[in-house]
Structure 1
């Protein structure tokens, strides 16, 4: 049976690049997906775009693509990523310009339409607490989770690189699988199987031992050279997962089953934009070292509503720290924490004060404990006082304090809600060197 090999090139915004380049070079991939977006990272992207309308995409996009795209394009590997974050069109333009600078010609497909701020009902309840969205603060961003149907037109238009904003993680994998196999996304069986592939691959190294390793309990060999996984996916959606020979990590039933349940809210009907995924019939079988076969996903038709990640101004946050080292570091750090609690008691904020680290009785000069203070407030001037009091411990606190770090920044809070699918209008733009045109 013909299979399509699809690889995981990133599992979050801060992921390593080297394993993705290795996959593109040596794995014989058809497609590689870099999943770099979460509720936190799109909120940070929205924060950057509020400060600079030309910003908002993943700040590591250029660094990743400078190394990955030449390798991938040389080998005919399509690249799909949500590094567009809060500004996918600008990310596409940056990608196009980078390719031009590198002397490469390739069609860049940009998927937009996830930004639904202008059509959001602020009286709608937040899924987390049932309160109207407007009650949480000034809403500054609203991004719907698009599905594979939003990505597929870019692939059909011949895009070799696809950059999206907020697309559901497994949908980034389902779209190229449906395109390669010529399958209908409206088929719940295939949509479920492809979504399961995406769910298992979306966190990249988590499937091969990253975020899994626990020495003496769950040992992972060669963690420093962790390799990322790929899947050989058949037309029926069944798949075998593997990793490159010579790379570190482990891919077995334990790593697969742990990732299988990761972030699954309801295993009988995990909600995605493409399907309601039922995991109850899924089987996981080890077929060879670092080779696992997974099958048995079932699905029900996609929901009529889409999840929306809503960002709102949640005030400001201060984080401030100071270290104490040497003998009795823990006692001096505890005293510093008590002094801070007393000095800050008069402020109309409730700081959290923690002492991090333990100094054993025989601790030498290398022992270190750190006092950390964090607080939220609408008024940043109050938080500056908190940071100043930590800094003042240098000469107004216990002996041996040092290494003060303090910063205050605005916080974009995140809640979620649902909108009718009809309220979301995805679009695709194809960018080429010196040419911008809408997809047909």
Structure 2
């Protein structure tokens, strides 16, 4: 039976690059997939594009392409990625530039565009998941990107693309598209589309299915995480799936690691909504068939809803933060006194904050005051104060007040850090798939 080997080269924008190189050099793969877009990432990319129209793609795109492009070209490995973020056209141009510099002038690079639907949302009467009109965001509105499905990627591969770079697409579509293209699956073969979507879902976070974010010493031990190997999906023409990794690489692929990734970000296992298929993972079974080899089966699917999820990025607020440490005898009491001083000062100077959070890291920052009361007093503690405001000017005042504890607070405070930042937030809405028109652009020499 014909099979396809697809490597998961990245699970988020800042992921390690070495495991992708290992996949390209030793994984015997046919496709290398880089999944680098989180919900908020594309809104931040839109901000970058507003400042410079030549930017807006993933900041590590150049480094990744320099690391793997020549090897992939020599081995006939095709690359599929959403590193185009807010600017797939510029990303494709950069990849072509790198290809030429590496002596690969014949490499065909395709950009998939059409996910940017900001103009449509601004012109129409759409409400987001809070029930508010999208238009009410006004000048705070940064971006609106629809989750595209696999079809435009399939079309790009059919047209001979060696590299396909997209903006916002459904994560599993990056894996599903090569399967549809290679095996000629019909777009209404719901069972195979369900299995292909499952393969994409298992690969989309890269190292997570190989033991990353899984390890818990003494309970769930994973070896050599510093050399974590990223996963390979071996998918058959019939939709059969095996998850594995490069022999000798770090980490571990077991039914447990695969099960945790299967459950990741799944709302209803029987109805995982994607643009291509409503996948049903409720009867998935996993079998350990060898060291770092797990067979996965049982997914199926149903026709998609005809609606596409749209991520709406907007400027939400500004956050200021300050931190300071106390150590030694009486550290907790001094930290609490510092906490009280900052709270009083922010009130005294009339800081216009819409929300304030103050916590003692190592005491109550994660589980709250209830559990903290049952614990022994720590020898060292770090105070963190954060405040949300409607302007950067007000947000900055939070860190400044923490910093003044150096000379106006309890004894022996040290290690102050302070920062302030604009907060980009995400809401969601729906748009009819028929209103979104993806297109393919080939970057020419």
**Shorter-chain TM-score category?**
over 0.9
CA offsets 1:166-215 (integer angstroms, 9 cap, x no match): 01100000001111112222321221111010001111111110011111
Equivalent position to 2:352, from 348, 351, 358:
348
Is 2:108 the partner of 1:107?
A: yes
Aligned residues: 429
Is 2:398 the partner of 1:394?
A: no
Say whether the 8 Å CA contact 1:316–1:408 is kept in structure 2.
Answer: yes
Alignment of 1:322-401 (within 5 A): 322-345=324-347, 346-349=350-353, 350-357=355-362, 368-401=380-413
> How far apart are 1:362 and its partner, in Å?
9.5
Instruction: Measure, in 2, the Cα distance between the counterparts of 1:400 and 1:88.
Output: 52
Instruction: Measure, in 2, the Cα distance between the counterparts of 1:59 and 1:188.
Output: 36
Is 2:56 the partner of 1:56?
A: yes
Alignment of 1:157-172 (within 5 A): 157-172=159-174
Aligned to 1:195: 197
> How far apart are 1:368 and its partner, in Å?
4.3
Instruction: Measure, in 2, the Cα distance between the counterparts of 1:375 and 1:136.
Output: 22
**Structure 2 unaligned regions, length at least 5:** 365-374
Alignment of 1:248-327 (within 5 A): 248-327=250-329
Matched residue SS, 1:206: helix
Aligned to 1:437: none
Aligned to 2:371: none
Equivalent position to 1:153, from 152, 155, 161:
155
Aligned to 1:235: 237
Equivalent position to 1:407, from 416, 419, 428:
419
> How far apart are 1:294 and its partner, in Å?
0.6
Matched residue SS, 2:202: helix
> How far apart are 1:88 and its partner, in Å?
1.2
Instruction: Measure, in 2, the Cα distance between the counterparts of 1:405 and 1:74.
Output: 48
> How far apart are 1:280 and its partner, in Å?
1.8
Instruction: Measure, in 1, the Cα distance between the counterparts of 2:59 and 2:332.
Output: 38
Normalised by the length of structure 1, the TM-score is 0.93
Say whether the 8 Å CA contact 1:169–1:202 is kept in structure 2.
Answer: yes
Aligned to 1:214: 216
Instruction: Measure, in 1, the Cα distance between the counterparts of 2:193 and 2:118.
Output: 28
Instruction: Measure, in 2, the Cα distance between the counterparts of 1:328 and 1:82.
Output: 51
Instruction: Measure, in 2, the Cα distance between the counterparts of 1:251 and 1:126.
Output: 39
Change (3 A) 1:319 1:102: farther
User: What RMSD, in angstroms, separates the aligned Cα atoms of the two structures?
Assistant: 1.8
Change (3 A) 1:369 1:48: farther
Say whether the 8 Å CA contact 1:188–1:302 is kept in structure 2.
Answer: no
Of 283-292 and 325-334, more deviation after overlay is shown by 325-334
CA offsets 1:283-312 (integer angstroms, 9 cap, x no match): 111111111101111110122110000011
Instruction: Measure, in 2, the Cα distance between the counterparts of 1:316 and 1:191.
Output: 43
Of 411-420 and 50-59, more deviation after overlay is shown by 50-59
Instruction: Measure, in 1, the Cα distance between the counterparts of 2:358 and 2:55.
Output: 34
Of 217-226 and 415-424, more deviation after overlay is shown by 217-226
Matched residue SS, 2:116: coil
Equivalent position to 2:128, from 123, 126, 129:
126
CA offsets 1:41-84 (integer angstroms, 9 cap, x no match): 11221222233222211111111111111221121111111111
Instruction: Measure, in 2, the Cα distance between the counterparts of 1:64 and 1:370.
Output: 37
> How far apart are 1:332 and its partner, in Å?
2.3
Instruction: Measure, in 2, the Cα distance between the counterparts of 1:108 and 1:320.
Output: 46
Matched residue SS, 2:260: helix
Of 39-48 and 299-308, more deviation after overlay is shown by 39-48
Of 341-350 and 261-270, more deviation after overlay is shown by 341-350
Aligned to 1:69: 69
Matched residue SS, 1:49: helix
